[in-house]
Amino acid sequence: MSEYVTKETFERMKEELQRMKAIDRPAASRAIAEAREKGDLKENAEYDAAKEAQGMLEAKIKQLEGVIANAKIVDTTTIDTSRVSILTRVTITNLATKKTVTYQIVGEKEADLKAGKISASSPIGKGLMGKSKGEVAEVNAPTGVIKFKVEDITI
């Protein structure tokens, strides 16, 4: 599945992958070599732990390589603000509570509720996608249907 990301997030993911390959992978190999030198591998918990850590690191590397390979970089200068889409900031009002909040719609890798960034694949994100100013989005939540009115859409 494609992941929509900003150029900054894409660069950050590439840097993390490079760090894992250049620094973490050799460190894992050294830890295995050090543990191997300590004797009998059948009863060597340190060796088993080092091998397990290496396996987890390799899995993370493969996963991140997949995300980078399928990433779609979104240019903020070409975003249409007439409808809610990836990287737009949308101000919504909960029609039941009258509470107004602003969220930026982002890909899953960038989602951070504390920073006001919600994933386009989240229930609220899905409900808002494609809506224009003044429209009401109905979001299916565990507590029932929540209605949000789109107040504003910006970059």
Q: Does residue 17 carry a pLDDT above 90?
A: yes
Measured from the Cβ of residue 80, the count of other Cβ atoms closer than 10 Å reads 9
Predicted confidence band at 1 (pLDDT cuts at 50, 70, 90)? low
The DSSP 8-state label assigned to residue 1 in this structure reads -
Helices (H), 20-150: 25-36, 45-70, 123-128
What CATH number is given to the structural domain containing 139?
A: 3.10.50.30
How far is residue 92's CA from residue 136's CA, in Å, rounded to a whole number?
Answer: 9
Q: Which structural domain, as residue segments, surrounds residue 116?
A: 77-154
104 with 57, same domain: the answer is no
46 with 103, same domain: the answer is no
Q: Span 83-88, mean pLDDT?
A: 91
CA dihedral (71, 77, 80, 86) in degrees, to 10, reads 30
How far is residue 152's CA from residue 91's CA, in Å, rounded to a whole number?
Answer: 5
Tokens found for residue 53: 């850590």
84 with 23, same domain: the answer is no
Identify the pLDDT of residue 14.
Answer: 95
> 34-62 pLDDT, tens per residue?
888 887 777 778 888 889 999 999 999 99
**Which of 73, 100, 117 is where one domain is finished?**
73
For the chain, the average pLDDT equals 90
Q: At 32, is the secondary structure helix, strand, or coil? A: helix
Total number of domains constituting the chain: 2
How far is residue 110's CA from residue 102's CA, in Å, rounded to a whole number?
Answer: 16
The least confident of 23-32, 58-67, 139-148 is 139-148
